[in-house]
Amino acid sequence: MRQTPNRVHPRPAGESLLAAVPAVWRNRRGMLSIWGYTFHNWELLGLWAWLPAFLTAALLLQGRSAESALMFAGLTYLANIAEV
């Protein structure tokens, strides 16, 4: 990538930023990249933020103590931080 020039293509004079949106929608490869990135971030939000809370609630519903459920949630959050 070091040999690839970093080109910034200027917008034509008088064209608004929103005028480029239809061109992005027609660009199949670009849209696949955008959707892939969007779903990847959705996955990260789900795993890092909601999964520990869900598993904690599941442990509590199984009759485990609140201390053990919260300890498990804390360990899950720490594991997610270490993953980054």
DSSP assignment of the chain: -TTS-----PPPTT--GGGGHHHHHH-HHHHHHHHHHHHHHHHHHIIIIIHHHHHHHHHHHTT--HHHHHHHHHHHHHHHHHH-
Inter-residue contact 82 to 65 (CB < 8 Å): no
User: Residue 48 pLDDT > 80, yes or no?
Assistant: no
Report which listed range, 27-36, 39-48, 71-80, is most confident.
27-36
Mean pLDDT of all residues in 26-49: 89
The full set of domain ranges for the chain reads: 19-83
End-to-end CA distance of the chain: 24
User: Residue 36 pLDDT > 90, yes or no?
Assistant: yes
pLDDT at position 13 is 87
